[in-house]
Chain A
């Protein structure tokens, strides 16, 4: 057999080598989807420049208010308890608390936390009410705020960051929930919230801020 004849026969005969079956496209995707990296599942969208500038200004204001409150507290302590000045000003725990307070205080943050609690609570209480069309929009707005806070100095604190990241995860699920959601869709979100202890931590954060005020 000549080379070209052999090559022709070869290609013809090889065409039946490991003939592929019809792939289970959806089944494979279901498994892939579970392992999608977070960047693919929900990359933080870039905010327009005007929103970014506005948010930065709001963040500075929030932090400024927070730091102001801490400095007032600190100066009061200095006046009233002069003998304990060194402990009050030099202790690293005090500085940490100041940082935490400054990052999680202010009316905007209070409002954000309050709205998040309300939204998640309504989700728990009103599991399959598909008429609640505003839910995704509210969740989307809160998601933007969450991501902003994660990028702001508030997100530097490990405890705050952990809470915000868990909130981000839950809010993403709410945003992506189909309009005609089923009980299973809501169950997945409840499960995520329960596993991460989201609601108790969120309520504690709100209570702490209120008591700080």
Chain B
């Protein structure tokens, strides 16, 4: 199965030297630098958080928690990875913890449990395949859902996903394939041959 790789997004907007200089300024107590760091990443972080939780207030809280943690942990940032990857990693950790904590987010993946999607009555009631897809995405487990949302929805590359999730690039590709296969299986009853 091949598919065209989405155009790579610039996850790392600044050079490594500039990033480290910015981090040093933040750690030196420069509040303006802290805001610069926030501004450089907040849009993508918010988009990802919102895509994963689907609730504006919750996304807002997740982003706030993520950046507070980023600033708390910034002294441990050594620059081995891009700052943006590190910020995304922290964000995904916060989102993942929130999902585990919050029953609203807790949806176990089980293709067999996707009964309502395959139910004839539901099919008749809701012919919109796109909305079925959105429901199906929500039934994926975290690891597949996050990889799918990052790659197919937000356009991150596998390299970026791997760096943000702390996994190998091959693992990211494998997870995406599995996520797509699961979605296809869930949607197949509604798709025209």
Give bound CA distance, A11 to B2, whole Å.
Answer: 13
Contact B1 A28 (CB under 8 A): no
Our pick among B63, B152, B180 for the contact of A28 (Cβ within 8 Å) is: B63
Residue from the set A17, A33, A44 with the largest chain B CB neighbour count within 10 Å: A17
Known: A17-B51, A20-B50, A43-B29. A4 touches B1 (CB 8 A): yes
Contact A40 B74 (CB under 8 A): yes
Contact A14 B152 (CB under 8 A): yes
**Does chain B have a CB within 8 A of A83?**
no
A-B contact count (CB 8 A): 114
Interface flags, A9-47, vs B, CB<8A=1, else 0: 011011111101101110111011101110111111100
Contact A42 B29 (CB under 8 A): yes
Known: A10-B180, A18-B50, A40-B74. A23 touches B68 (CB 8 A): no
Q: How far apart are A211's CB and chain B's nearest CB, in angstroms?
A: 36
Secondary structure dominating the interface of B: helix
**Does chain B have a CB within 8 A of A71?**
no
Contacts of B112 in A (CB 8 A): none
Contact A40 B26 (CB under 8 A): yes
Q: How far apart are A36's CB and chain B's nearest CB, in angstroms?
A: 6
**Does chain A have a CB within 8 A of B47?**
yes
Contacts of A124 in B (CB 8 A): none
**Does chain A have a CB within 8 A of B137?**
yes
Give bound CA distance, A44 to B129, whole Å.
Answer: 58
Our pick among A7, A23, A42 for the contact of B43 (Cβ within 8 Å) is: A23
**Does chain A have a CB within 8 A of B54?**
yes
Chain B interface residues (CB < 8 Å from chain A) = 1-3, 6, 26-29, 31, 34-35, 38-39, 42-43, 46-47, 50-54, 56, 59-60, 63-64, 67-68, 71-72, 74-75, 129-130, 133-134, 137, 148-149, 152-153, 180, 183-184, 191-193
Known: A20-B47, A36-B34, A40-B34. 18 other contacts (CB 8 A): A1-B191, A4-B2, A6-B191, A14-B152, A16-B130, A18-B50, A18-B51, A18-B52, A20-B46, A28-B46, A28-B63, A33-B34, A39-B29, A40-B26, A40-B31, A40-B71, A41-B29, A176-B31
Chain A interface residues (CB < 8 Å from chain B) = 1, 3-4, 6-8, 10-11, 13-18, 20-21, 23-25, 27-29, 31-33, 35-37, 39-45, 176
